[in-house]
Amino acid sequence: MWEEALRVAKANGTTKELGEIAIKVAENMGPEKGTQFLIKNGLVEAAIDFEANQERFEAAFKLAEGHAKYKMPEVHLKYALHLEDENRYKEAEEEFIKANKP
């Protein structure tokens, strides 16, 4: 029923809501196919969020750099939080600064 959910979100939802549903669809496909699915459907922002949520930060940075530079601080923030969870505080501090969240 994912296709039906996407159809309804496209017809009646906001871009954010469509992205959220598309991310759920992508999670069921796996990391590689999920990202390709999102990009194919023109949901680059959702693809960046998907990659960051999957802790594939290198891919998230690459997508943000190439398609949505305004998402870079958000990716830096997610990466900083990830590093902080791993007790890598020095690296996390640098990422928080890059995210403009010192």
Total Cβ atoms within 10 A of residue 26 = 27
Cα(86)–Cα(66) distance, integer angstroms: 28
Cα(41)–Cα(89) distance, integer angstroms: 37
pLDDT one digit per residue (tens) for the chain, 102 residues: 778 888 888 888 888 888 888 888 888 888 889 889 888 888 899 999 999 999 999 999 999 999 999 999 999 999 999 999 999 999 999 999 999 998
- Which 3 state secondary structure label does DSSP give 56? coil
State the pLDDT at residue 61.
Answer: 95
Total-model pTM: 0.84
Cα(102)–Cα(95) distance, integer angstroms: 9
Spell out the domain ranges in the chain: 2-98
> 26-31: long-range contacts at Cβ-Cβ below 8 A with a sequence spacing of 24 or more?
26/50, 28/2, 31/56
